[in-house]
Amino acid sequence: MAARLGNVSRLMPLHPQVEAMRAQRASHGAEPLYTLSVAQARIADLASIRAGSGQPEAVAAIKERQIEGPDGPLTIRVYEPSIHEPGADQPDAYQSGADESSGALGRPALLYFFGGGWTLGSLDTSDAICRRLTNAVGCVTVSVGYRLAPEHRFPAAVEDCYATTSWVSRHAELLGIDPRRIAVGGDSAGGNLAAAVTILGKERDELTLCHQLLVYPNTDYQADTESMASNADPLLFNRTSVEWYWQHYLADPADGSDRLASPLRAADMSGLPAATVITAEYDPLRDEGEQYAQRLLDAGVPVELRRYDGMVHGFFAMAGSLDAGRQAQEFAARRLRAAFDDSDRVVGVAVRAAGVGNFSGSAASGSSTSGGDAR
């Protein structure tokens, strides 16, 4: 019998740091992004992320290049891990169009897909996250400039992310990476795209991926969940936000039933890469993210799920202003390091919610797990 992920029966209050952030938005008269034009929302979203992400860490090098995508060139940004201590104040070696790797061979790689509801976002949106994960994991990180809706609706973003992942795998030697140690990840819509890439890779039998990092992912169009119904605060990401993004992403509401738009609706999840799933307590996407973790577990996929109490959607990108954002990034880095370390692979599941003692899980064998971090 497959293990069951634990349930949390009570909500903790909003974290004081989130309360302060919410109060500041109220005092400034912040408008929900869904009340703005797409162009205005894109500018406001990036400004908000930059304000909350903290001082960007220096990395050894950043290289931008264009690769051939399904419908024209795609821009990718390649981050090389720093040999210095994370956070050290040294300049990046920034190159555009560079073809040469650093010369290090066999390094692990993370394909990271930025969030923004498939409508907002850019390579700059996830820049701080990619820098921190690159250094903390010691991996090459490739950020993908996929096409955005409503100019390019579903499945354009999925096609771009899959094509880039495939390109990285085929050009592992050029990038100085180990093709057996490639993971995908993303936050929000980026988590949705990461899940879709793993599903498509399995169906086409073309990719070998060792892990998927899913940070509060969208997994089900028109999800009918308690967290979707209860999160309506206009000063925070809410159910109207979710609806607004889906309206821009889908050309036809019927497309929402496609497993590449709604990974939770995939018929068979067996054989997908091991997963780390991160959710936030006050997030309309909380329940569908945790349901996806359960579906993976039911299919025999090793999963670690962590819910962060008192947190809201977007906290993972706010490491400069929310302690839990920094802690979640550190947790994600530990999970990725474990996934990239062949000797640390285990069968089963460990489940934990930060700060919630009654959130527990069992390994596939039925034995209890500690729920501690994978290291």
Distance separating alpha carbons of residues 211 and 341, to the nearest angstrom = 11
Mean pLDDT of 271-276: 98
Residue 297, Cβ density class (10 Å: 0-12 exposed, 13-18 middle, ≥19 buried): buried
Phi, psi of 81 (to 5 degrees): -65, 145
Residue 143 near residue 46 (C-beta atoms within 8 A)? no
User: What six digits make up the tokens of 212?
Assistant: 């998927």
Edge-to-edge strand order for the sheet containing 61-69? 93-96, 61-69, 72-80, 140-145, 107-113, 177-187, 211-215, 275-282, 303-312
Q: Comparing C-alpha atoms, which of 99, 93, 150 is closest to residue 120? A: 150
- Pairing mode of beta strands 140-145, 211-215: unpaired
Of the candidates 127, 313, 321, 362, the residue annotated as catalytic is 313
Mean pLDDT of 242-256: 98
Annotation marks residue 188 as catalytic: yes
- pLDDT (tens digit, 9 = 90+) per residue, 151-194? 999 999 999 999 999 999 999 999 999 999 999 999 999 999 99
Residue 359, Cβ density class (10 Å: 0-12 exposed, 13-18 middle, ≥19 buried): buried
Residue 373's pLDDT band, with cuts at 50, 70 and 90, is very low
Taking each helix axis as running N to C, give the angle between helix 156-170 and helix 189-204, from 0 to 180 degrees, rounded to the nearest 10: 60
In this predicted structure, which of 133-142, 194-203, 206-215, 335-344 has the lowest mean pLDDT? 335-344
Annotation marks residue 313 as catalytic: yes
Domains of the chain: 16-344 (3.40.50.1820)
For the cut 70, the answer to whether the pLDDT of residue 372 exceeds it is no
Residue 219: the pLDDT is: 98
User: What six digits make up the tokens of 71?
Assistant: 């419908």
As beta bridge partners, residue 94 has 62
Q: Comparing C-alpha atoms, which of 242, 209, 16 is closest to residue 117? A: 242
Residue 375: the pLDDT is: 28
Q: What is the DSSP string of 79-92?
A: EEPPSSPTT-----
- pLDDT (tens digit, 9 = 90+) per residue, 77-114? 999 998 644 444 444 554 544 444 544 568 999 999 99
Of the candidates 187, 220, 258, 283, the residue annotated as catalytic is 283
Write the secondary structure of 190-222 as one string of H (helix), E (strand) and C (coil): HHHHHHHHHHHHHHHCCCCCCEEEEECCCCCCC
Percentage of the chain lying above the pLDDT 90 cut: 81
Mean pLDDT of 122-133: 98
Mean pLDDT of 270-279: 98
Distance separating alpha carbons of residues 349 and 331, to the nearest angstrom = 16
For 25-46, letters b (16+ CB in 10 Å) and e give beeeeeebbbeeeeeebbebbb
Of the candidates 53, 101, 169, 188, the residue annotated as catalytic is 188
